[in-house]
């Protein structure tokens, strides 16, 4: 099945800093999603982005499907951005596979 790898595993930011999270996947995808898992364990949908670029406030994401990677950008980070960011990808078939996550801590 598809392999999904995220980097870096951990990220410590000062409030106001910008950062980029990366997701590499091993096969052509028809679904690529980014999630934020908040400190209470909830999985929040951030982006559905099998290709192209999208923006939502201070967050944006780009997927380059032909090169098999996706990037999540956090600009002007806030303490509420802390948590774990997951990407998940689906190739042919129905199995949505998760990466290991990037744990983000934003310090005030």
Partner 1 sequence: NAGVTQTPKFQVLKTGQSMTLQCAQDMNHNSMYWYRQDPGMGLRLIYYSASEGTTDKGEVPNGYNVSRLNKREFSLRLESAAPSQTSVYFCASSPRQGARRTEAFFGQGTRLTVV
3-state DSSP call for residue 67? helix
Task: Output the CA torsion sign for 97, 91, 4, 50.
Answer: negative
Quote the least distance from Cβ 72 to partner 1, whole Å: 15
Q: Interaction with partner 1 in 75-94: which residues (CB under 8 A)?
A: 86, 88, 90, 93-94
When asked if residue 48 is in the footprint of partner 1 (CB under 8 A), the reply is yes
* Least distance to partner 1, CB of residue 88, Å: 7
Tell me which residues touch partner 1 (CB under 8 A): 30-31, 33, 35, 41-43, 45, 48, 86, 88, 90, 93-101
């Amino acid at each position: 099945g598809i392999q999904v790898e995220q980097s870096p595993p951990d990220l410590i930011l000062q409030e106001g800093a910008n950062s980029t999270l990366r997701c590499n996947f091993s096969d052509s995808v028809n679904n690529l999603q980014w999630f934020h898992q908040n400190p209470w364990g909830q999985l929040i949908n951030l982006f559905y982005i099998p290709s192209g670029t999208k923006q939502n406030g201070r967050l944006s994401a780009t997927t380059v499907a032909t090169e098999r990677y996706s990037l999540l950008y956090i600009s002007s980070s806030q303490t509420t951005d802390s948590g774990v960011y997951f990407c998940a990808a689906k190739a042919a078939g129905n199995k949505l596979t998760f990466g290991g996550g990037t744990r983000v801590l934003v310090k005030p």
